[in-house]
């Protein structure tokens, strides 16, 4: 799960330039933050976050925010990630205010008050419904995201001040908010807050910067292994984009009942969620992908999701090659998964505008945003490499776009800047390729030598993925079953409850589906290969036998490693 959060340009989310104590290990109750934090001037927003523990069990995260109301007597608050008809996000308590009245529901609240009145706003983050892990509160720890914890204040650019309230004895709290203070390149509090009685925080040097890894001692991965892996990826990313390194935080939350892994990119941090048995190649991809969001989407001028997600997906296996955490075979395996997903996507030929509109809550749209755009990025790199006779790669163009952005040169979003820079540096016009495959949604076919001489792209024919039944989601009953399909032959029937997916890969007909189901006869496991009768054409990357030296040369060739 890769999630990227934004807000209208006219808004500023509470907490932007604030975190004076975040990232501090505390052995006793902290007394620096009082229960009330008063604004020091007419346009200061003060925030205090306090973990509330009763009987050694975390009950909630209490937030108290003090603002000065707008001069016209009406102040609008915006709440992210809430159902339009809900009272608020599912893990929020009711919002209480002093010196104002509050109205509205869903993502918007209106405060009415005397002109420029001082207002106090209080609410609690409470345990989220089962299955949610963005705002996770457990008896001994919490793992929350800023976008689901704080609200926005509309049409204001005040000074923000944040501090922790009293922290329970023996607890450690950590956040990336401390190194966001005063950083103009982080326009929103895309942040992670993490704390508990058993939190481990390890520091690793990455270039001239510092990587902090915060996790509990309940993961199959050791902090030394994970920190070293992230450190290598960070060093490779800094080298790729010619950066010296900066502050970076990774928070790892282990979910005992979760199958797979997810990450939320936060620019200068990311929140990682893993099941008890993480897939290491997939983990390496997730780590590289999220680390790359420090630059792509943040320091390349922004742009549509196909650019932010697809180009990040394209550079992820390249970054792993450069970090030494991928072999050419690993690189090919990741691309084969992407190509297989693209070939079987029901939105394969959808124009980018349609994909963008369907992105929220649509798994097919999210996957296509990454995979098809990564394929187009590979085509752009291929065109640039051939036109320049190997002297200019896509990464070289992107690097110059990033340098212009840092120097406040040029205009437009990321794709606009990319096209202009490629034309200036090589004479190659990339816009027709982007228009053809992304804007119009024509089918993408990669050239056989798109990845150079050591890997070859071949076309094969495989069965289409066919789950064979219809269900709303895990925990729901099956509403329809194809009697001619393999799911029916294996025993899936209408009305059965799908308790859990224990194995399988949606969209991949070569991986066995394993579902735990329940009906009147009890609970049991059903297995079958989700291969349909219809065939589809698919491109795959083949690796011929490579010795150690040849594999090293191949990795350098694929990744464009020249420095």
Three-state DSSP class for residue 200:
strand
pLDDT of res. 7: 32
Q: 49 vs 18, which has greater pLDDT?
A: 49
Whole-prediction pTM value?
0.81
Residue pointed to by tokens 């096209």 = 419
Residue 52 phi/psi, 5-degree rounding, is: -100, 115
Residue 163 pLDDT level (bands cut at 50, 70, 90): confident
Q: Which residues contact 44 (CB under 8 A, 6 or more apart)?
A: 68, 158, 159, 160, 161
For the chain, which residues make up each domain, given as ranges? 42-197, 207-294, 302-447, 467-529
pLDDT in tens, 136-153: 899 999 999 888 888 878
Please tell me the least confidently modeled range out of 91-95, 129-133, 372-376, 559-563.
Answer: 129-133
391: left (phi over 0), alpha (psi -120 to 50) or beta: alpha
pLDDT of res. 10: 29
CATH fold of 302-447: Neutral Protease; domain 2 (1.10.390)
Return d(Cα 110, Cα 121) in angstroms, integer.
12
Residue pointed to by tokens 């040029």 = 410
pLDDT at 182 exceeding the cut of 60: no
pLDDT at 526 exceeding the cut of 70: yes
CATH fold of 42-197: Immunoglobulin-like (2.60.40)
Pick the CATH number of 207-294 from 3.30.2010, 3.30.1360, 3.10.450, 1.10.3470: 3.30.2010
pLDDT at 329 exceeding the cut of 90: yes
Q: What rounded mean pLDDT belongs to the chain?
A: 85
Taking the CA of residue 13 as centre, how many other CA atoms within 13 Å lie in the half-sphere pointing to its CB? 22
pLDDT in tens, 532-555: 999 999 999 998 767 878 888 888
pLDDT in tens, 332-379: 999 999 999 999 898 999 999 999 999 877 888 999 999 999 999 999
Residue pointed to by tokens 């997810």 = 262
User: Comparing 42-197 with 302-447, is the CATH topology the same?
Assistant: no
Q: In what order do the strands lie in the sheet with 152-154?
A: 11-13, 152-154, 74-78, 108-112, 101-103
């Amino acid at each position: 799960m890769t999630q990227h959060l934004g807000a209208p340009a006219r808004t500023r989310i509470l907490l932007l330039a604030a975190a004076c104590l975040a990232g501090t290990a505390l052995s006793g109750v902290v007394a620096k933050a009082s229960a009330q934090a008063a604004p020091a001037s007419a346009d200061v927003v003060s925030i205090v976050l306090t973990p509330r523990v009763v009987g050694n069990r975390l009950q909630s995260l209490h937030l108290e925010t003090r603002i000065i109301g707008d001069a016209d007597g009406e102040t609008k608050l915006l709440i992210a990630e809430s159902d339009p008809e809900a009272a608020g996000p599912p893990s929020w308590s009711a919002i209480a205010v002093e010196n104002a009245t509050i109205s509205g529901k869903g993502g918007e609240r209106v405060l009415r008050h005397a002109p420029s009145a001082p207002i106090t706003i209080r609410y609690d983050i409470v345990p989220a419904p089962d299955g949610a892990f963005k705002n996770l509160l457990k008896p001994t720890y919490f793992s929350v995201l800023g976008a689901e914890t704080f609200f926005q204040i509309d049409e204001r650019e005040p000074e923000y001040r944040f501090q922790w309230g009293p922290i329970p004895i023996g607890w450690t709290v950590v956040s990336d908010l401390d190194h966001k203070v005063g950083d103009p390149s982080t326009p929103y509090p895309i942040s992670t807050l993490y704390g508990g009685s058993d939190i481990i925080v390890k520091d690793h040097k990455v270039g001239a910067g510092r990587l902090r890894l915060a996790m509990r001692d309940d993961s199959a991965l050791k902090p030394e292994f994970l920190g070293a892996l992230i450190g290598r990826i960070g060093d490779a990313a800094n080298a790729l984009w010619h950066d010296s390194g900066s502050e970076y935080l990774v928070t790892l939350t282990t979910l005992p009942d979760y199958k797979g892994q997810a990450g939320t990119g936060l620019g200068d941090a990311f929140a990682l969620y893993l099941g008890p048995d993480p897939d290491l190649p997939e983990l390496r991809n997730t780590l590289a992908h999220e680390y790359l969001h420090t630059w792509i989407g943040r320091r390349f001028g922004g742009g549509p999701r196909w650019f932010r997600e697809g180009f990040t997906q394209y550079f992820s296996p390249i970054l792993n090659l450069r970090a030494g955490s991928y072999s050419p075979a690993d690189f090919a395996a990741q691309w084969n998964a992407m190509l297989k997903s693209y070939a079987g996507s029901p939105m394969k030929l959808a124009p980018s505008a349609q994909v963008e509109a369907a992105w929220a809550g649509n798994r097919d749209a999210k996957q296509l945003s990454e995979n098809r755009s990564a394929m187009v990025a590979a085509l752009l790199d291929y065109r640039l490499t051939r036109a320049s006779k190997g002297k200019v790669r896509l990464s070289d163009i992107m690097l110059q776009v990033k340098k212009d952005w840092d120097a406040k040169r040029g205009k437009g979003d990321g794709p606009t800047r990319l096209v202009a820079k490629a034309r200036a540096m090589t004479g190659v016009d990339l816009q027709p390729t982007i228009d053809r495959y992304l804007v119009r949604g024509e089918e993408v076919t990669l050239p056989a030598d798109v990845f150079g001489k050591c890997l070859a792209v071949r076309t094969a024919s495989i069965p289409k993925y066919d789950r064979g039944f219809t269900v709303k989601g895990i925990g729901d009953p099956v509403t329809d079953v194809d009697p001619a399909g393999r799911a029916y032959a294996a025993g899936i029937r209408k009305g059965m409850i799908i308790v859990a997916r224990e194995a399988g890969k949606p969209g991949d007909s070569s991986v066995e589906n394993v579902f735990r189901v329940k009906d009147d006869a009890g609970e049991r496991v059903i297995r079958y290969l989700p291969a349909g009768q219809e065939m589809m054409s698919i491109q795959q990357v083949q690796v011929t036998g490579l010795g150690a030296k040849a594999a090293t040369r191949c990795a350098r060739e694929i990744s464009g490693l020249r420095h």
